[in-house]
Structure formats: structure tokens, C-alpha cells
Amino acid sequence: MTPENIIGADQVMDVRELDCAIKHPLIVKTWMELPVGDHFILVNGHNPLGIKNQFEAQWPGTLGWEYLAQGPEEFRIKLTKLQPLGAPAVPVATRCREH
């Protein structure tokens, strides 16, 4: 699978093998393009709290974040778009700062 079609019919996006510089913008882009009420399952090798914090800072109240598995080696999180996005409250990050 390439980053452009990383989500399968099962709605799972497994980013464990992707470089942070690729996966972070891909996660943000994919979530932003979701219809309201839709979701995908993010699979990562660490707890991606940085991206959760980014969503909460930029689009407060729009992200549903439900842990389906919490490590230590695999984290599965259901990301749901709860409402339409307005302008981000803070600038959109364009690169990965940290895990």
C-alpha cells in the first residue's frame, strides 16, 4: 500500500512503517477529509498523543478519540470526526515535531 491508499476497506490506517514526516501530515489530511460522523482506525507503534493534542488545539471539539488497544508495542485508536471543521484555532502543523 502507498500512503495515498493506506486505509483499507476495514477503515484501518497502519502507519507503523512510515516515516514521521510522512505519517503525521497523512493522518491530519485523512481526518480532515472525513465526512462528519465517519472514522478510521489509526495503528501506530507508540501512543500518538502529539497528534491528538494538535487536533484539540486546532479544531476543539471536533475529534472523537477512542483507544481500542493501548500498547506497549501497538496502539489502535478510533478517530472520528464529530462536527464540521472551522478555521483552525492555531496554525496547522506542517511537520512532525515529536511522537
74 within domain boundaries: yes
Beta-carbon-side half-sphere exposure of residue 32 (alpha carbons within 13 Å)? 15
Q: Which amino acid is at 56?
A: E
In the predicted structure, residue 88 carries a pLDDT above the cut 90: no
What does the DSSP 8-state code read for residue 81? Answer: E
Q: Which residue has the cell 512510515?
A: 18
Q: Which residue has the cell 500512503?
A: 3
Instruction: Report pLDDT digits (tens) over 9-32.
Output: 789 999 999 998 899 899 999 999
What CATH number did the domain enclosing 42 receive?
Answer: 3.30.110.40
Q: What is the pLDDT of residue 39?
A: 96
Instruction: Report pLDDT digits (tens) over 27-79.
Output: 999 999 999 999 999 999 999 999 999 999 999 999 999 999 998 999 999 99
By residue range, what is the domain housing residue 20?
A: 3-81
